[in-house]
């Protein structure tokens, strides 16, 4: 990076990873300037992944200028200012720490790391880099879904009164078939955990985002329904969870101190494709969100029954950049909003959110759920960890 003031020059972007998340992020980098014209100018300079043929194809598809097969290529190039990490969890820490040390702004897909120790090292690196104007963020893209951003506004404004109970579930079905093959997501050494880290991280981040509170205590259960799956060399043991359940108590936040949350995540729920559902119940109202109807927020105030809000109006969160009222957004657009917020912060020289500190906070909750599950559901206090 040069000594130019933030936002005064074109920023070079590199994405590391070209599979599912790499594609979602590449699409967002391609579209962000069109929908967020206030962001600094960027160039999509480098796409990095090991499968060269697939990477070349993805580069042509999403307009990346060059490709590389080794992530270390981003460290050596002065024309790369932003490194976006879309790799399996066990690689997050190494790549992020090296990129921050090289003076690159860093975005890391969720969860921040595979365990608390790695997340702590990443936060230390981010804090050290912050002193030199280097910014970092963890990619919890659902914070940029307009309906969820509106839900946060309603809770923070006190429209629901004192929050008492929250139900957060994230259910998928892609592992229902026991013949589904092993992947990196089913190996603890690469993924850290199973449904807990993959889906639970989103749910826990939403609890913190929507309420402004932290998780105080946890009681959890983990289960693996299918303990062995086809691997490249024959049957392979699955050493992560297929599903997780937890009860959490919150502390802090102006309207959620002492609230309880019920959490359920699973990749084994038949006929559920990508069902993140959040229900918030307060002393003066309630709200319900379902990701499979992501433009809708159902709200009840003063025991009036639920009413549907179609969150597509220009004065609602994130909508001024998009379409006329009633013209809905999709899942991919949350990533475009995410990149826009990240770039605005980089240009302004401010710290984007969610930060690595937020990512570490989520990681500590996930670890507490694992600890509780290992202790047969014994309640774990995060203040004692």
What pLDDT, in 10s, does the model give residues 176-226? Answer: 999 999 999 999 999 999 999 999 999 999 999 999 999 999 999 999 999
Whether 15 contacts 48, CB under 8 Å: yes
- DSSP one-letter string for 154-202: HHHTTTT-SEEEEEEEEE--TT-STTSPP-GGG-HHHHSSSHIIIIIHH
In this predicted structure, the answer to whether residue 383 has a pLDDT above a threshold of 90 is no
Q: Which segments of the chain does DSSP mark as H helices, in order?
A: 20-35, 52-62, 92-101, 116-130, 146-156, 188-191, 195, 201-211, 331-348, 356-374
pLDDT of the residue at 358? 98
Class of domain 144-330+360-374: alpha beta
Q: Give the percent of the chain with pLDDT over 90.
A: 96
pLDDT digits (tens, 9 = 90+) for 48-67: 999 999 999 999 999 999 99
- The residues spanned by each domain of the chain are 11-141, 144-330+360-374
pLDDT of the residue at 302? 82
Band of pLDDT at residue 2, cut at 50, 70 and 90: very low
Q: Which residues contact 94 (CB under 8 A, 6 or more apart)?
A: none
* CATH fold of 11-141: Rossmann fold (3.40.50)
User: Any idea which residue has 């946060």 for tokens?
Assistant: 152
Across the chain, mean pLDDT equals 96
Q: Which of 154, 168, 201, 163 has its CA nearest to residue 298?
A: 154
In this predicted structure, the answer to whether residue 341 has a pLDDT above a threshold of 90 is yes
Alpha-carbon distance of 2 to 12, in angstroms, equals 12
Q: Which residues contact 129 (CB under 8 A, 6 or more apart)?
A: 100, 101, 103, 136
Terminal alpha carbon distance of the chain: 38
Provide the 3-class DSSP secondary structure of residue 276: strand
Q: Which of 47, 53, 50 has its CA nearest to residue 23?
A: 47
């Amino acid at each position: 990076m040069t000594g130019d003031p933030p936002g005064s020059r074109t920023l070079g972007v590199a994405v590391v990873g070209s599979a599912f998340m790499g594609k979602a992020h590449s699409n967002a980098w391609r579209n962000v300037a069109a929908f967020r014209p206030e962001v600094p100018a960027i160039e999509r300079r480098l796409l990095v992944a090991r499968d060269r043929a697939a990477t070349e194809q993805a580069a042509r598809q999403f307009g990346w200028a060059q490709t590389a097969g080794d992530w270390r290529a981003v460290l050596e190039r002065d024309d790369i200012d932003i490194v976006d990490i879309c790799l399996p969890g066990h690689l997050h820490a190494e790549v992020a720490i090296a990129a921050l040390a090289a003076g690159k702004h860093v975005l890391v897909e969720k969860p921040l790391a595979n365990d608390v120790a790695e997340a702590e090292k990443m936060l230390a690196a981010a804090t050290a880099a912050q002193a030199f104007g280097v910014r970092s963020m963890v990619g919890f893209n659902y914070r940029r879904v307009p309906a969820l951003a509106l839900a946060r506004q309603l809770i923070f404004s006190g429209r629901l009164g004192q929050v008492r109970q929250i139900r957060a579930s994230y259910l998928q079905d892609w592992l229902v078939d026991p013949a589904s093959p092993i992947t990196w997501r089913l190996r603890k050494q690469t993924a850290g955990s199973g449904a807990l880290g993959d889906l639970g991280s989103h749910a826990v981040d939403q609890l913190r985002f929507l309420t402004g509170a932290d998780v105080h205590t946890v009681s959890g259960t983990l289960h693996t329904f299918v303990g062995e799956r086809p691997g490249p060399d024959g049957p392979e043991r699955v050493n992560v969870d297929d599903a997780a359940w937890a009860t959490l108590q919150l502390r802090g936040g102006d309207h959620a101190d002492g609230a309880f949350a019920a959490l359920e995540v699973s990749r084994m729920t038949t006929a559920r494709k990508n069902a993140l559902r959040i229900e918030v119940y307060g002393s003066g109202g309630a709200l319900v969100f379902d990701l499979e109807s992501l433009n809708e927020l159902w709200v009840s105030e003063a025991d009036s029954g639920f009413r549907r809000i179609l969150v597509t109006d220009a004065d609602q969160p994130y909508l001024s950049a998009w379409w006329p009222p009633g013209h809905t957004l999709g899942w991919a657009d949350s990533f475009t909003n995410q990149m826009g917020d990240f770039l605005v912060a980089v240009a302004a020289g401010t710290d984007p959110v969610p930060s690595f500190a937020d990512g570490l906070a989520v990681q500590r909750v996930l670890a507490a759920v694992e600890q509780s599950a290992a202790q047969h559901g014994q309640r774990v206090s995060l203040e004692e960890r």
